[in-house]
Each structure stands twice: as C-alpha cells, then as structure tokens.
Chains A and B, each alone.
Chain A
Amino acid sequence: MRAPERLRSAGGRVARWVVDTLGVLLALSAGTFALVLLARGDPAAMLAATRAGRPATPEQVEAVRAELGLDAPAPLRYLRWLADAVTGDFGLSLRTNTPIGPEIADRIGVTLGLVAGAAVLALVLGVLVGVAGAVFERGLLRGVLRTGALLATSVPAFWLSYLLVLVLALRLGMVPTSGMAGPATWVMPLAVLGLPAAGALSRVVAVTLREALDRPYVLAALARGSRPASIVLRDGLPNAAGPILSVAGFTVGMLLVGTVVVEQIFGWPGLGAYFVKAAAARDIPALQASALVLGGGFILANRLADVAQVLVDPRSRRDSGTRRRLPRPRWDRPGRRGTGETTAHPRTGPT
C-alpha cells in the first residue's frame, strides 16, 4: 500500500505544480494577446505599409488582414496565435517583415548569457554582503554595507551605466563604452544588471539570516562549542534559505526584465533590446512574442524557486510525517516513507 500512496502523493504534487504553472503561463499568453485589443492603429495597415514602402492602399491592407487572419473573431485568433506560438511561430514583424521566431531564437542566447552572469554576480555578492550584514553588530562596516545595498537598489540602471561609462570607459579607458565583443565588454552590463539585484538580495539575506540566527538552535550550537562560521553555514543559512531562494528566483526574473534597459544602453543584440525596439515601433507581433518569452521566463524563474524552497526543507516534504513508533523494521528507512499521518506542524505539534 505504501509505495503507491507515496507515488500518488509525490506525483500529485508535481502534477499540481505543472498545472498551476501552465495556468499562469496561459494567463500570461491571454494577457499578451489582449495587447492587440489595447492597440491604437491597425496592425494590418502597418505591415502593408512596411511591405509597400509607403502608405498602403485599402486593397493592400485588406489583403494583409486576410493573410494575418485578423478578420476572424478574437477568441479564434487567440487560439491560432497560441497554437503557432507554442511551435515557435510568432508570425511576421510589422517593422521588418521578417519572421519573429528565428530572430528571438538568435537573440535569446545573448540575453540568457547576460542574465546568467548577472545572476552569479548578484548571488555571490548578495549572499556575502547579506551574511556580513547579519553577523556584524551595528557599527561602521554594517552601516556601510546596508547603505550601499540600499543605494544599489535605488540607483536607476541607466544612470549607473552613465557613471560606469564615465569612470571605467572614458576616464580609465579600461573597457569599451558599448557593444558586445570581448570579455571586457561584459563588465559594465553585468555590473549594471547585477549590482542592484545584489543589493536587493543582500537585504533579504541579512534580515532572514538574522532571524535564523536568533533561534534557540544557535544557542544550542554555542552550548556544544560550535564555531561561528559553522553556525552561520550549517544552522543560519540553511534555515534562512527558504525566503532567500524565493527572492533569488524573483531576482533572476527581474534580471531577465532588466535586460530590456541594459541591452538598450550598451547596444547588445539581445531579446531585451528587441523588445524595446518593437515597443518603440509599435510592432505588435514582435512585442507580443518577446513579452511572452520574457514574461514566461520571469514566471518560470519564480515557480522554480518555489520548488527549490520545498526541496531544502525536510519538514515540507510530504513523505516525512511525524512518527512515534520506536522500533522500526529495516525496510522502513528515512527518506522513503509515506505514512498516512498528516505532517504535524513543527512548531505547534505536541511533543
């Protein structure tokens, strides 16, 4: 009885997660599609004009409208659009009259690379500064770290890029002002994207770690003679990991959105710059496509962080209910159990 039950419970939770995530993504796609309804101007006229190179005749516009299927009712258009989008076909750009799908595929690598680099920077710096902020007593260093972190989150990315360009590129001549070529060109985009994220993350790390370090198990660790470093690493950080992971997921999502600004500033050929170009030209299909991809990435990053949060806490694993039987047959080992009991809440459960 045990194994199937366990499977059902674990499988049920995975299924639930998948269904929930798909639901949110579906809502995102509906919202993205609905952008057309907010639009001013006629997309068909725009594409016809792009093709003709001058304002199009009504016949040309009607031909394009029929070609794009814009004469069908909105729900039907949504379903068609969604079906195409799932296969990577986002139609033609109104601005360039070229397929959008391959363009996005070309550009997403740049954006993902930028996000990955900035995420590493944000996580490393954010956790280090956060730990320092939680561990050190009120004092100069702490004040500096805290103010620095808050400042980093408050400085607009585009202005930070100015400062970096002024200092690193123009004054010191260490890096080129823009473009994507060698490793040196990565310095400023990564800093502009990663530093604010690091600041935000460090505040969360500091606050949650501080809370985790105020718990009685830290006192107990002191009583058995554990070192501060061991207490921070083994007791503090793991117990603060839940909120930190959740914010880290959010941070990665925000980095993805932040590429919109950073790629535009530094002239990187990524998805963010494409999005801004599409928005500036009111290129609705391209706008929808990039919003769907960026928004989907944002949602996925958050949803995956939720999963990670569950995985780090043994108490939230459904298959580890409170058990009181003392002797245990050998096949009933920790880690693969599925007792029917509900998990007593750790803090309120009777002892």
Chain B
Amino acid sequence: MNAGHRRRGIPARLRSTLVALPLLGFAIVGLLAPVLAPADPTANDLAASLLPPSAEHLLGTDQLGRDQLSRLLHGARISLAVTAAVLAISLTVGVVTGTIAGYLGGPVDRVISRVIDMAVSLPGMLVALAVIGVRGPGIENLVIAVSLWAWAPYARIARARVAGLRGSPHLDALRLLGAGPGRIIGRHLLPPALAPCLVYASTDVGAIVLGVATLSFLGLGIPPPDPEWGQLLIEGRPHLASAWWLAYPPGIAITAVVFASNLLGERLATGDERPSILRWVLPAGLRAPAPRRSPARPPTTVRPTATSATSATSATSGGDGTLLRVRDLSVSYPHRDGRRRVVADVCYEVPRGHILAVVGETGSGKTTSVLAPFGLLDPTALVIGSATLEAGTHRRQLVGLTPPQRRQINGRHVGVVFQDSLAALNPLRTIGAHVDEAVRNTGRGGRRATTRRVTEELLRLVGLPDPVGIAREFPHQLSGGMRQRAQLAIALAGEPELLVADEPTSALDVTVQAQLLDLLARLRDELGMAMIVVSHDLAVVTRLADTVAVMYAGRIVEAGPLTTMVENPVHPYTRGLLDAVPRPGTAPGTRFRTMPGRSGTGPDDADGCAFAPRCPIAVPECAQEQPTLLALAPGHRSACPRQSGNATLVVGAAPERDGA
C-alpha cells in the first residue's frame, strides 16, 4: 500500500502502538490499584459525604463519603480481573474447540461450526442477562455469563486458521515422521491458531469492559459495595445534578478503554484507509492540500502552460486539424521517497479522423499516457506537461482542469473504452442505465422514453442485435464482445471527436476481435472519429492504425506512420516486437524470435537507454546517456542513436531467425 507517504510525521506502526496505550494504562492501573489508591475504596465517612474535588479527595467523595478516586482505581482492578478471567476462559475454550474442529474436519467440524455460527449470531448482552437472570448476580456468574458469548469468535478464528493449515505438506510430513494427533495439535496447530486470537482479544477488551459495566449498571453484575465502574454510576445517579464528579469520571474511564479498543480493532480490521477515486473530482475546497509536487528526477519537466503547448519538438504546427496534441507529458506516483515517474516526456498527436496506435509491453506506460490527459488516473497521480484538445470551437489545455471542466470534455468530446469491460460496467445496473446516463450527461437526453430511444439507437449503431432487450440486461449476462460493444455505445453517446480505446480487444477471442476491429474501422469511416487505440497486439494495430507510437519503459522510443513502422522499423525494440509476431507465410518449423530479458523498468531507472540491457546492438555508450527522439523523416521519430544516422542501411539487413 502506497498510502504511507500521506501520513504526516508518525509512521503507521507507531500509531497503532499509540492507540493501544490507553489499554496498557488500563492494565497497569488495574494491577497497581491498591498501591495507587490514596484511600480504602469501601471506607465510609458520612461526615465527608458528597464533597467536591479537593486536595484531599482529588475526585471528591460519594454519598457515603468514600474517596471517588480510590473507587475509580479499584474499579479498574475489578474490570481488569473480570476481563482477564473472561478472556482466559473464552480463549482457552474457543481456541481448543476451534482447533479440534479445524483439525478433525468432516462431520465433527460441521457440527461444531454450526454451533459456533449460532453462538456468534446470538446477541451477547441477551445471553449474559439471561444467564445472570437464572443464576443471580456476582462476579463468578458474571464471568460465566460473559464467557458464554465471548468464546465463539475465538473458536471461529482458530477453526479457520487450522482448517487452512490442515492440508499443508508440513503436516503431512509431520504425520509421516510419526507425530501423533496430540503432538500435532499441541505443538504445531495451537500456536498458529492462538496468534490471531490474541490480536482479536486486544479488540475484545472494550466489549467485555462495556458488557460488565452495563450489567453492573442494571444491578446484575458486580454487587455493591465493590466499586465497579457501572456500579459507581448507578450509585451516583441520585446526585447527578449536584455532584458532577460522580457522573463524569467513571463514564470517561469506560469510554476511554472501549474507544481505544474499538480504534485498535478498526485499525487491525481495515488497515489503512485508501482515499477513493472520487476525492479527485470533488471541488478543491473540500480537499486537503493536494499532494505536493516533489521535484521529479529530471528537472527539465514543466508545469502545464499555454506556451509549452507550442514549444513543441515536432515540426508540425498548430491549427492544422490536429485534434489532440500532447507535449512533454509526465506522470508520477508517490513512492517511498518522493515520487516516481511512470511516464516521461511523452509527445504524441492525433489528427482528426486518424487512428493512433500506442503499443508496448505490459507496464510500459501506454495506458497511463493516453488516459492522463483526461484525468482518468488514480488520484495520487501527478500529471505534468501539456495536452491540448482542439474540440468543438476552441482549443483547451487538458492538464490541470477542474472536475467541472473535465465533465465538459469527458463524454462530450472524448469517449473512452476500457480494457476490462466487466469491471468498467457497474454490475448492478443494466446496460441501458449506463447508456442512458451517458446520453443524459451529454445533454442529449430528455424524458425517460426519449433517452431510451437514443440509447437503443446507440446500441444498434455498435452492432448489438435486439437493442431493446440488451438494454435491459445486466453486464454479467452479456458476453465479453457484447460488453465491449456496450462500452463503445456509452463512449459514443456524446458523439465524441476522439475515442480512446484501451486494449479494446485483448480479452476477446479471435473472431470477436476481428468483428470489433471492423466495427471500430467502420465508426472511424462513418463518423470521422479520431481514435487512440492502446494495444500490445501488433496484429490489432496493423488492421486499424494510421500512425503508431511504440513505448518502452515509460517513454516513446519510436513513432511514425504505420507503413514506415512495419516495413522500416528503426528502433531495435520495434523490430523485436515485429519479429515476435507469428506470420502465416513463414516456413513450417521456423521459430519466431522472442526478445531476451524482461520489461518493467521505469523511465528514470537507468541513466541511459532503458532498452540497452536487452538490445542486440547496444554499445557501452547506450547505457550512459538518455537518448532523445530524433526525426528521421516527416512524422517518423526514433530514440535509438545507433540507428537514426544510417537508418536505411540497417533496415535493409534481414532479421536473423533462430533455427532457420
């Protein structure tokens, strides 16, 4: 979890310890009460009744003149004693029962589990009250009553832990070595079962203390004159209005112990809370200061400015029908120390009606670099650089837009199709509800029936049969290909000028893939829509793209027109990708070449070319200086210094094939 960086000052471990401190204090006070207490908690002194706090009685005295502080401290002792007794009993009973059930399995396990389930599902307070109701109050009955409901969670935890261990090879080995069940349970199962139970016990303290106090308050727990906390409160009740010192301290003591215990339990149960994606879209005023921008490693990166849009490295100038122009885009995420870039200095552009394909391996930053301009990354991502969209009538800088401004772009001018169609659709809403919402967002909706007619039209447009019926289906009822079409219908609702498709076909089988690619090509032709298609599959790319950008380790290493890229690839990585595509024409038995090494590095991990370690033509200099994208021909850029000078020469050389 990378949330640790947002913590100010105190590390998470220490915070858990801090939370546990009141519990520790409770235990210490309980143990040392006889030493700490200034007076005998049961010594009456009617002459000194109901005295307010003074130097002699720090917390005043009660109606019988007893020292309230001493009674409070001794109350901790009683609570602690009852809690310890209850925990000892329920831990022993629970862990042993659970371990036996988990170890034996079969019918015994089923019966015990059923009993545990019922015991867990019963309200503890009711059980305790009922048991005390038939047995009468007193410390012994109190411990029995509370233990009767406290044991079950331990049994459940221990059973789950042991059942998980039962089939492990470790136990099989022990059995083969001749260890009996007693030894296996005692030495090898009880300790691991006990550990999570002890953790749970720390959070159970609060519930037990609260239960005991409540029972005492109802007159069914610890009988007077023992100074139990709940007992103190019930005795102080008649003097509530006049003697505040009787009403507050015991309540505060109980609340503090229970609060610490609950807080600890919540921390252990849910861990650190992650911020949601939504906080990204809330108005800035509702948010705490945005993550500070720590200096990214290369200090050359710039904040989005109007000028950075024009200070382009490419030769093409603005106002020429270029729909999206991305310049020096970098994306970084919080990391152990500061931020770590995952996409660095990316430049690309999408002319109207053109299809740009972004290819690269998993983790090369291709999805991040195409979703970043539209604010569709994790809230912790920091995007810098420039991305201008010339949609509608005017040109807009996309980096740094506010959420309401984004809503004017997303859905209206830009539609997005995500990779995992099942995850990208809300499982609880019908396809029609999704599309309806998209239609309404873009202002094309009207009354329910009108909106639905537009929806059905969109579903028909993306080639779904029976739009009326499909609109009423839930996402899980459709096949992957149909869901992908549904996503497309959502994306098309605003008649966008740009469609961003992230791996639109990778989860589909080949025939469905082909249909979907045909559909995309048709939409481009019919609607004149520009597209960015992210894919790791060059076969997809060659069917669709006008231009191709190849990414490696968060940077574009080569970009150019499709034909150039396929026939004259210059960068060794591009050539490697092409070589890895199986071709129907090759002789049987030819092994297609795969690239050695592995991917997954970030753009700033190496001083030089990130591909150098895997590159067949690398020279030592490659690992020293970061290569820059150089223009080879109009629209064709490559970041390989060894190739760009004599591109044609090298491209002429036939790629070697293993085993040929």
Contact = CB atoms under 8 A, between A and B. Distances in A.
Interface of A: 24, 27-28, 31-32, 35-36, 38-40, 134-139, 150-151, 153-159, 162-163, 165-166, 170, 203, 207, 209-210, 213-228, 230-232, 234-236, 238-239, 253-254, 256-258, 260-261, 264, 275-276, 278-280, 282-284, 287-288, 291, 294-295, 298-299, 302, 312-315, 320-324, 326-328, 333-335, 343-344, 346-347, 349-351
B126 interface: yes
Contacts, number: 300
B472 A295 contact: no
Contacts of B262: 150, 153-154
17 contacts: A40-B134, A156-B251, A162-B251, A166-B240, A214-B276, A217-B427, A218-B276, A219-B277, A221-B426, A222-B410, A231-B278, A231-B281, A234-B433, A275-B129, A283-B133, A320-B474, A334-B472
Contacts of B508: 351
Nearest to B490: A224
A218 B277 contact: yes
**Which 10 residue pairs of A and B lie closest in terms of their CB atoms, listed nearest first?**
A351-B480, A225-B411, A279-B133, A159-B251, A213-B276, A223-B416, A154-B259, A154-B258, A216-B423, A39-B134
Given A154-B262, A156-B217, 19 more contacts: A137-B282, A138-B6, A157-B214, A158-B214, A165-B240, A170-B240, A170-B241, A207-B273, A214-B276, A217-B424, A222-B281, A226-B437, A258-B125, A261-B217, A264-B218, A279-B220, A287-B133, A320-B474, A334-B473
B129 A276 contact: yes
Contacts of B121: 24, 299, 302
A210 B480 CA distance: 27
Contact of A235 (B244, B416, B426, B491): B426
A340 to B, nearest CB: 15
Nearest to B218: A276
B591 interface: no
Given A219-B424, A279-B132, A136 B441 contact: no
B158 to A, nearest CB: 22
Contacts of B494: 224-225
A338 B286 CA distance: 48
B125 A260 contact: yes
B403 interface: yes
A278 B274 contact: no
B546 interface: no
Contacts of B206: 154
Interface residues of B, number: 105
A238 B477 contact: no
A39 B135 CA distance: 5
Contacts of B219: 280
A210 B469 contact: no
Contacts of A223: 374, 376, 410-411, 414-416, 418, 491
Contacts of B230: 156, 158
Contact of A222 (B218, B241, B375, B469): B375
B394 interface: no
B378 to A, nearest CB: 9
B364 to A, nearest CB: 20
A62 B415 CA distance: 86
B278 A213 contact: yes
Contacts of B276: 134-135, 209-210, 213-214, 218
A294 B126 contact: yes
Contacts of B475: 346
A275 B421 CA distance: 55
B562 interface: no
Given A137-B282, A287-B130, A349 B476 contact: yes
Nearest to B256: A154
Contacts of A231: 278, 281
B490 to A, nearest CB: 6
A287 B279 CA distance: 51
B130 A347 contact: no
From A216, A253, A288, A312, name the one whose CB has the most chain B CB atoms within 10 angstroms.
A216
Interface string B411-438: 1101110101111111111100100011
A35 B144 CA distance: 13
Contacts of B426: 217, 221, 234-235, 238-239
B95 interface: no
Contacts of B192: none
A40 to B, nearest CB: 6
B600 to A, nearest CB: 22
B423 A215 contact: yes
Nearest to A295: B126
B125 A257 contact: yes
B247 interface: yes
A328 B466 contact: yes
Contacts of A335: 472
Contacts of A236: 278
B568 interface: no
B566 interface: no
Contact of A314 (B133, B135, B217, B474): B474
A282 B133 contact: yes
B213 interface: yes
Contacts of A156: 210, 213-214, 217, 230, 251, 254-255, 258
B438 to A, nearest CB: 4
A139 B284 CA distance: 12
B428 A312 contact: yes
B233 A158 contact: yes
B595 interface: no
A226 to B, nearest CB: 6
B101 interface: no
B288 A322 contact: no
B442 A225 contact: yes
A221 to B, nearest CB: 8
B139 to A, nearest CB: 15
A278 to B, nearest CB: 6
B198 interface: no
Contact of A333 (B132, B375, B415, B472): B472
Contacts of B286: 136-137, 139
B152 to A, nearest CB: 13
Contacts of B134: 35-36, 38-40, 282, 284, 287
Contact of B255 (A137, A138, A159, A276): A159
B307 interface: no
B255 A24 contact: no
A159 B210 CA distance: 11
B125 to A, nearest CB: 5
B275 interface: yes
Given A39-B135, A210-B276, A315-B476, A225 B425 contact: no
Contacts of A215: 423
B647 to A, nearest CB: 39
Contacts of A158: 213-214, 217, 230, 233-234
Interface string B323-339: 00000000000000000
B483 interface: yes
A313 B466 contact: no
Interface string B468-490: 01001111110110110001001
Given A222-B376, A315-B427, A163 B278 contact: no
A322 B477 contact: yes
B214 A135 contact: no
Contacts of A170: 240-241
Interface string B214-255: 100111100000000010011001001100100100110011
Contact of B407 (A209, A217, A227): A227
Contacts of B277: 213-214, 218-219, 222
A315 to B, nearest CB: 5
Interface string B131-143: 1111110000000
B130 A279 contact: yes
B118 interface: yes
B521 interface: no
Contacts of B254: 156, 159
